[in-house]
Amino acid sequence: MKAIKHHFKATKHLKIIVSLLIVLSLLLAFTILRDSATVITHKQANALFTQDKIKKLIVDGEYIRIKTEDSEYKVYQGAINKNSFFTKYPVEVKEGNEYLYDIFTLFIIFGAFILLFKMIRESRAQQLKQLKVNLQTEDETLKTEPIQAITSNVRFSDVAGISAVKEELEEIIDFLKAPQKYKALDISLPKGVLLVGPPGVGKTLISKAVAGEAGVPFFYQSGASFVHIYVGMGAKRVSELFKKAKQMAPSIVFIDEIDAVGKSRGELRNDEREATLNQLLTEMDGFEESSGVIVIGATNKIDVLDEALLRAGRFDRRIHISLPDLEERAKTLELYLAKKPHNVDISHVARMTVGFNSAALATLTNEAAIYAMRNERSTIETTDFEAVKEKVLLGKRKIMSLTDREREIQAVYQAAKALVATWFDIEFDKIGLVNTMLLREDHEILSKGQLLNRIKVYLAGSIANSIYFKEQFTNASSDIKQAKAMVHKLVYEYMMNENFIITPTQEEELMKSSVAEVTKLLNSLNEALKKTAEYLLEHENIDQDQCREILREIF
């Protein structure tokens, strides 16, 4: 309401200012244009006299104004024979008080400028006052919403299908339970843990489970809550958060969507966000060893985070959480159905939900229960899941769900990438039907061969489908774009070409040679490709050790 009133006041002031400017403009124009008489010579005046066009003469200071039927002229008094003119035509003498109008006009203009200046000053004072009120309101908002710890009742038993993640977090839980044990041995644990994964895979739930298992206070903050309109507010919020966490140590600070505040500096500059990020970096640097405070950040956009946030001593440990595979989906469904009466073929539902994240599985289970209830049944059946699957797919963001034919195509595609990556020693965590987790290159210096090998991995899937199915498919678009981007960088950015001379055909030649080499390699690995594809169809994920095992069996 205050903002609306302030808007109306500002609009009213603007209208008055505009009106005054219009009046001033008219007065100035009138003053300038009021004397429209043309100065003429004695010859021109005599011509008017001879032609008898003069109607009236006005003595105006050193001038004599000559009025005709449709015009007005003025001539110096000494330039004409006044006796002749005054005898023939009526004469009027302009009195000195007639100049009072000009003086009055000047007073109006001067007064209008004073009033305008006063109104501008008052308007600025009002804006400053409103700014102070807004700052006070913002500060009061922060005070009325104090940072409070949450006691988490979530346990790892409440989170299914994250066994690998649990293992990585076990020692952090142990550290939070008994920090003195680590301090006695001068062991430094990570100050920060970054959970990286697509939306809906349970990053927040995992953090709550860590706090619940350790039995420590849990401070939840969204990255967006730090970004305020006024510079300094976000930094203040960060400072208060870490101060409270240290007071209640051992504790966990969880920052969801940390990319909202942790984006690389310099891109689309935002002083408030940069100040907040700097404060976050300062607070994490200020941790004492084994202080008992662990910071957990969550993001699905690690590529946009500022490098300073990812360097050693801040978010030292990164845990990648991918979409659940077949086994993990089955365990998740078991968990969601544990308290519901059902007669569901969980393995069948797990197989038909390729690409579903944990949140989507929860929604699917709930919708299936609602569907059963609407049909007046007290037990959930497998058919209920089949009936509501499309509703969940269309009601939420489009989730990748594959038919049997698509699963086969995708299995061959991903199997080729896994084999080529293993063959060229490109490390990966795991490759599945719906994801590829090649490990990031953290080396400062990369060879041309290393870059070309990565390009070959991106091309492998499309080439394998062409060999196996004699056809190309749309699932290759993203990888082909990445391959082209890397070829472009190799030629134009890294200048890895003959004699450092760039020719227009070099990108095309590199792509052709890479395609030829991968085609030859996959033809020689035909049996291994089939076995890897079969393994993916059965398990949905394959790691590098399993790929090596398949290659050893063949060769």
Once rounded to an integer, what is the mean pLDDT over residues 107-120? 71
| The pLDDT of residue 1 is above 50 | no
Report pLDDT for 22: 65
Once rounded to an integer, what is the mean pLDDT over residues 180-209? 81
Report pLDDT for 5: 44
Tell me the C-alpha distance between 357 and 325, whole Å.
9
| The pLDDT of residue 25 is above 80 | no
- Alpha-carbon dihedral of residues 355, 359, 363, 369, nearest 10 degrees? 100
| The pLDDT of residue 403 is above 70 | yes
Report pLDDT for 350: 87
pLDDT > 70 in the chain, percent: 79
- The encoded tokens of residue 285 equal 């640097």
- Alpha-carbon dihedral of residues 100, 106, 108, 110, nearest 10 degrees? -150
Query: Are 75 and 40 a contacting pair, CB within 8 Å?
Result: yes
Candidate from 105-114, 307-316, 345-354 with smallest mean pLDDT: 105-114
- Highest mean pLDDT among 29-43, 80-94, 186-200, 457-471 belongs to 457-471
pLDDT in tens, 140-160: 555 545 677 778 888 888 777
Phi-psi region of 503 (alpha: psi -120 to 50; beta: other; left: phi over 0): beta
Which pLDDT band, with edges at 50, 70 and 90, does 35 fall under? low
Phi-psi region of 246 (alpha: psi -120 to 50; beta: other; left: phi over 0): alpha
Tell me the C-alpha distance between 111 and 100, whole Å.
16
Report pLDDT for 517: 95
Which pTM does this prediction carry? 0.55
Report pLDDT for 122: 75
- Distant-in-sequence, close-in-space partners of 506: CB < 8 Å, separation ≥ 6: 491, 497
Report pLDDT for 422: 93
pLDDT in tens, 300-322: 888 778 777 877 777 878 888 88
Once rounded to an integer, what is the mean pLDDT over residues 510-521? 94
| The pLDDT of residue 106 is above 60 | yes
- Residues in a beta bridge with 92: 58
Report pLDDT for 548: 92
Q: Tell me the Cα Rg of the chain.
A: 41
Q: Which residue did the predictor score with more confidence, 23 or 428?
A: 428
Tell me the C-alpha distance between 276 and 229, whole Å.
12
Once rounded to an integer, what is the mean pLDDT over residues 163-186? 79
Provide the pairing of β-strand 72-76 with 63-67. Answer: antiparallel
- Residues in a beta bridge with 431: 436, 542
Tell me the C-alpha distance between 379 and 398, whole Å.
29
- Residues in a beta bridge with 251: 293
Phi then psi for residue 200, to 5 deg, are 85, 5
Once rounded to an integer, what is the mean pLDDT over residues 276-296? 74
- What structural domains does the chain harbor? 156-320 (3.40.50.300), 326-395 (1.10.8.60), 404-554 (1.20.58.760)
Q: In 10 A of CB 117, how many CB atoms?
A: 10
| The pLDDT of residue 466 is above 90 | yes
Q: Where are the beta strands (DSSP E) in 68-225?
A: 72-76, 91-93, 192-196, 218-222
Once rounded to an integer, what is the mean pLDDT over residues 502-515? 89
pLDDT in tens, 210-260: 888 888 888 888 877 776 545 567 778 888 888 888 888 788 888 888 887
Tell me the C-alpha distance between 383 and 389, whole Å.
10
Report pLDDT for 454: 93
- The encoded tokens of residue 310 equal 């990812």
Report which DSSP code applies to 305. B
